[in-house]
Chain A
Amino acid sequence: MSILAGLLLCAAIAWCPSLRAQTPPANSTASPLYKEVIDEAGRTVRVPLPVQRIVSLAPSLTETIYALGLQDRLVGDTDYCDYPPDAQKKTKVGGAINPSLEQIVALRPDLVLVTKSLNVIETVNALDHLGVSSYGTDPHNVRDIISSTERLAGVLGVPEAGTAIGADLERHLADLQQRLNGLSSRRVLFIVWSDPLISVGKHTFIADAMRLAGATSIVDSEQNWPQMSLEEVVRLQPDFLVFASSHSEAGQNDFDVLAERPGWRGLDAVRNRRFAVISDAVNRPAPRIISAIEDLARQLHPEAFAAHPDDEKKIAPPPPTQPSARPLDSASRVPAFLEVCTCAL
């Protein structure tokens, strides 16, 4: 008898899910209008119209929102969204990989933006489960970044802004192409992390960005964040080392620290202090990456940016590089690394 009662109690507890409220996914406030789009991960997304409240789960997407002029519609972003500085004032929903679902839902977003290279599928699934639409981007190279921005602009209802940005970026790229025309590409090693030594694979947008800046990554790997051995690097002897940093001091520091390490003196680039420091914008697949590309091009091919670009191109000896001055901003290097490091997982 008591066993029967116990069994019934257990069954009742097990069937707890029936306590769940019967609500239709009601995150759009007024109009029931929506459109269906296919995002860059191949998912069908139900986008409410108009998109008034956006939550961004990646720093690159936050930057893109600002670039498209939609910052007033951005109601929440991650702890690591630090550019432009105004983004730091937005309501935070946590990390990119472990955001607080509650916080996202509490912001009543019409659309959540995610990117395949940073966010995790579990977050997307959980948001689907809760009836919150999420749109994912997945740019693999710089041209993808441009088209991704244009597509996103279309989804968010501002296609003209997207086209304008796209055209502007294309113009910069064309100009760069012209300047670098005929110059031989520099062989570089892009250093994501020095201990262990991690660089970028050939399918990443960072590698593509460098290609556009007139540099070729010496790392020929299918993996996105390959771990390199120092021997291999010494064998390949890159012309330049490239560091990405939020401010120049840290970049200079990185090089000095690296130069002290045993074995690194075997590199010509280290002995001759041939390194370039560019903005960490190169780590984010957003429009700002263009400035990093141009910066890198300037440092690697200064002759292409002399006052009269039509002058005869001299084959100049590699000059000692000056890390370009960057305004110090409050963002630390850690968030950018965290983006990249978690990609390496």
Chain B
Amino acid sequence: MRPLTLGRLLTHCALLSAVLFVVVVIALKLGAVPVSLYGLGHDLLRVLFRQTSQLSSEYQLIIFDIRLPRILLAVFVGASLSVAGASFQALLRNPLADPYVLGVSSGAAVGAIIALIVEPHLSLAPAIAALLTPVGAFLGAALTVTAVYFLGLRRGQIDSATLLLAGIISASFLQAIIMFFMSTLTGGNYRGIAFWMMGELQTPPPRIVSLILRIGFFLAAGVIYTTASDLNLLLAGEKEAMHLGVDVRRVRLVVYIAASLLTGLAVSVSGAIGYVGLLVPHVMRLLFGSDHRILLPTAAFGGAIAVVVADTLARTVVSPAELPVGAMTAIAGAPLFLYLMRRRLA
């Protein structure tokens, strides 16, 4: 009998954060432009001590203005998606659930497209105009989440099966709208949407958006973490959980909102990167068990590592051209999924 202790949790988290650190350093090193690790360390120190004049400016631009923000974006997007995925798997009691199953990504795409349609007709300062797409995407996601919630209610409470159904139908409907838009819209600004929908981290979002993403991640993931024990019981059965003192209704609502927030934020900045939210929780379950008190933090780290690796591959494999991140996660994700499936059946 070895129940989870705080010590074990912290040990695993420390281990994973070390792995993440190494992965980030390697990602900083790799890219279309070569960078030496020693030089990198040296320069990081210089930057910390504000001796920036000694660095060549392109080098600074590349490392600090292009690569580092992109890697950090990958970290937070990956962490958000995995935590959301694990949460939805618990909420919907379905191991095939991923963050997009309730239509969040399709809603975000529709919101982004509408923002792009509307933008030329409003004369906005460039700083505000750059905000329009992420805001539009987030609004689209929020509206979809709200609609699916109300569709998924049964006798005033969230019902897993109804919610899942409502989400799938909404996603299909929104996909049809997207296809309609993409066939009929012409003109310059919509071309990027196709890449966005495959998930891409190349476009740096405005700084305020990045900040909201990070703060939102800590808030929402933290809130979900407070229900970690409840989620363990919820997975054992809703009736049983209720008799064991879980406020099922409150937990469901809280997790639904928080996980949707995580997904909405991630999708607004990076498009729909697939497979991360679905597979990382399963891999972490294999490694660390299904207890959500350890699953949620390790999934966050795992997702961050996965997306950083995928993004690094995406920008180096066919360098100097770049593949969308979603393509890399799919290429790695599909075989991994098959392997996991077989393992469970074995």
Contact = CB atoms under 8 A, between A and B. Distances in A.
A and B touch in the complex (CB under 8 A): yes
Interface stretch (A13-21, A163-171, A183-191, A279-287): A13-21
A79 interface: yes
A130 B203 CA distance: 12
The 7 A-B residue pairs with the shortest CB-CB distance, nearest first, are A94-B321, A100-B320, A26-B57, A14-B214, A120-B192, A94-B320, A103-B32
14 contacts: A13-B218, A14-B211, A19-B48, A27-B58, A95-B321, A101-B202, A102-B31, A102-B62, A120-B189, A122-B203, A126-B202, A129-B65, A227-B183, A342-B194
A132 B58 CA distance: 11
- Taking each of A14, A95, A224, which has the highest tally of chain B beta carbons within 10 Å of its own beta carbon? A14
Contacts of B320: 79, 92-94, 99-100, 102-103
Contact of B64 (A21, A94, A101, A227): A21
Interface of A: 10, 13-14, 16-17, 19-23, 26-27, 79, 92-95, 97-103, 105-106, 108, 116-117, 120-122, 125-126, 128-131, 201, 223-225, 227, 342-343, 345
B157 interface: no
Nearest to B193: A345
Chain B residues touching A, majority SS: helix
B207 A17 contact: yes
A23 B210 CA distance: 20
Contact of A79 (B67, B321, B324): B321
B184 A105 contact: no
B47 interface: yes
B303 to A, nearest CB: 15
Interface string B182-223: 111011111111110000101110010011001100100010
A17 B190 CA distance: 30
B39 interface: no
A97 B194 CA distance: 11
Nearest to A222: B186
Contacts of B222: 10
Given A19-B68, A20-B64, A106 B32 contact: yes
Given A14-B214, A126-B203, 16 more contacts: A20-B69, A21-B52, A21-B64, A23-B60, A26-B57, A27-B57, A93-B320, A99-B322, A100-B319, A102-B31, A105-B66, A108-B58, A117-B188, A120-B195, A125-B126, A343-B191
A14 B211 CA distance: 7
* Chain B residues touching A, range: 35 or more
A128 B126 contact: yes
Interface of B: 31-33, 47-48, 50, 52, 55, 57-58, 60-62, 64-69, 72, 126, 130, 182-184, 186-195, 200, 202-204, 207, 210-211, 214-215, 218, 222, 315, 319-324
Given A17-B207, A21-B64, A27-B57, A223 B322 contact: no
A108 B56 CA distance: 11
B133 to A, nearest CB: 9
Contact of B190 (A20, A93, A100, A345): A345
A106 B60 contact: no
Contacts of B187: 224
B186 A224 contact: yes
Contacts of B126: 125, 128
Nearest to A106: B33
Contacts of A101: 66, 202
B188 A121 contact: yes
Contacts of A100: 31-32, 315, 319-322
